[in-house]
Amino acid sequence: MKAKQISRVGQIFADGRRIDEALRLAARDAIRKHEQHNAPVVVWRDGSTAWVPARELNVKKGSRKTTRGRRLAKRGN
C-alpha cells in the first residue's frame, strides 16, 4: 500500500513552529500598534480579561523576521 503524502499545508500544521512564530509576530505587532495609539491591550489574567497599558507588556524591540524570503528563494521566484 502506498504511503499517503501530506500536503505542504499539512506539513506546516503538523510541525507547528511556523504557526507559533506567526502568532508571536502578530501579537508583538498588535502590542506595538496599541502602544503607538496609547490604547490598552486586553489580556487573559487570573481567569478573566484585564485591560493593560501596552507599555507594561514586555515586547522585544528589533526587526521583524519572516521566512518569506527563504521560501521565495527555494521556489526560484
55 occurs within a structural domain: yes
pTM over 0.85: no
Q: How far apart are CA 49 and CA 46, in angstroms?
A: 8
Q: Residue 39 domain-assigned? A: yes
pLDDT tens-digit profile, the chain (77 residues): 566 788 988 888 888 898 999 999 999 999 999 999 999 999 999 999 999 999 998 776 655 554 444 444 444 44
Question: d(Cα 22, Cα 28) in Å, to the nearest integer?
Answer: 10
Cell numbers that stand for 7 in this block: 500536503
Cell 524591540 belongs to residue: 61
Residue 27 falls inside a structural domain: yes
Work out how many domains the chain is built from and give that number.
1
Instruction: Answer whether residue 2 is part of any domain.
Output: no
